[in-house]
């Protein structure tokens, strides 16, 4: 739409002169920033993380062309935080600056937080991070546990460059509360109708922004609504169970959707598994699912137990075989030939 009607596909309300900034987002799409103080609505997410006025927070998302750095920056400043606009890269310098300025908060990707912490440990430079807001990439529980081993409280938020923040974790860490200033729908991947709680679907968001309203914007992400239940944090907003993958990261096998994200969730429960790939073939008009598993050096696994765990989650029976999987192999390899 933008290529046919540049720059903003006719969706912008009013002239460009009313905007504060314009960005080229990964994709690539062009993204405007309107006049609101916390345009992308991150303040509530940071407050849910425990960040408060007066905190010194290092923001490590890029400020260069993409909106990520400014998305976090505006949300932090709306709370009254002092922001260190670190951006990306320069690990040595960032560690020194975070230490010298005694930053107690971190905002950015969880993987870069890990890089900073390990670098500081090797360099014997003290860091003072107490809380971290992780975004822009997946936060596996194994990584969260490692980061929290440094004495940091780590929570995550889910946002897109176009829609801003859609959901965020509270201290309970059992799903992400929907941000109440936007409408989030989970739509069935086949029918496009609202999915039942617990069922995965396409995340679709609506924002009634005065400058750039987006109605039922499809994110390409797959998630599920958690069953409705009171949260002990006191928030009443529904929760997303978490991100389960991207649209396209799913194929039908024996009439059922098989998703790489669901397979990965099971594999993470078996520390012996180093890499895996689900291989789907077809013979005599029948689908066959085989999980090729590469093990850690010297490790072993009960293939029957692993196959049962996969069947319970994926809902499709498959075999498990021990083999070698390339480091960059896709999670699902569909080798079926349709004639």
CATH number at residue 107: 3.40.50.12780
pLDDT digits (tens, 9 = 90+) for 223-266: 999 987 789 999 999 999 988 877 766 677 876 778 888 899 89
User: Domain range holding 322?
Assistant: 250-334
- Band of residue 214 on the pLDDT scale cut at 50, 70, 90: very high
Give domain status of residue 192, yes or no.
no
Give domain status of residue 207, yes or no.
no
Whether 177 and 166 have beta carbons less than 8 Å apart is answered as: no
pLDDT digits (tens, 9 = 90+) for 101-145: 999 999 999 989 999 999 999 999 999 999 999 998 878 888 899
This model's pTM is above 0.85: no
The count of domains in the chain is 2
pLDDT digits (tens, 9 = 90+) for 35-45: 999 999 999 99
Do 26 and 163 sit in the same domain of this protein? yes
Do 29 and 149 sit in the same domain of this protein? yes
């Amino acid at each position: 739409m933008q290529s046919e009607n540049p720059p903003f596909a006719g969706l912008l309300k009013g002239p460009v002169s009313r905007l504060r900034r314009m960005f080229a987002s990964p994709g690539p799409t062009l993204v405007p920033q309107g006049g609101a103080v916390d345009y992308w609505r991150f303040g509530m997410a940071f407050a849910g993380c425990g960040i408060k006025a007066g905190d010194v927070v290092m923001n490590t998302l890029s400020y260069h062309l993409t909106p990520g750095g400014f998305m976090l920056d505006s949300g932090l400043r709306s709370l009254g935080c002092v922001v260190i606009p670190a951006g990306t890269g320069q690990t040595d310098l960032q560690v020194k600056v975070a230490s010298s300025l005694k930053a107690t908060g971190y905002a950015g990707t969880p993987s870069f937080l890990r890089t900073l912490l390990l670098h500081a440990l090797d360099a014997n430079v003290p860091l003072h991070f107490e809380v971290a807001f992780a975004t822009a990439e997946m936060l596996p529980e194994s990584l969260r546990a490692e980061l929290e081993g440094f004495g940091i409280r780590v929570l995550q938020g889910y946002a897109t460059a176009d829609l801003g923040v859609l959901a965020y974790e509270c201290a309970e860490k059992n799903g992400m509360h929907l941000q109440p200033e936007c409408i989030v729908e989970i739509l069935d991947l086949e029918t496009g109708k609202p999915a039942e709680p617990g069922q995965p679907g396409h995340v679709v968001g609506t924002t009634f922004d005065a400058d750039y309203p987006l109605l039922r914007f499809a994110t390409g992400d797959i998630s599920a609504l958690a069953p409705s239940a009171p949260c002990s944090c006191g928030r009443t907003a529904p929760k997303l169970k978490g991100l389960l993958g991207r649209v396209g990261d799913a194929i039908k096998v024996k009439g059922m959707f098989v998703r790489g994200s669901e397979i990965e969730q099971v594999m993470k429960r078996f520390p012996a598994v180093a890499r895996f790939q689900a291989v789907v073939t077809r013979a005599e008009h029948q689908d066959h699912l085989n999980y090729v598993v590469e093990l850690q050096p010297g490790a072993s696994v009960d293939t029957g137990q692993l196959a049962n765990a996969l069947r319970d989650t994926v809902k499709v029976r498959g075999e498990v075989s021990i083999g070698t999987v390339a480091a960059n192999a896709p999670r699902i390899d569909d080798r079926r030939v349709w004639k």
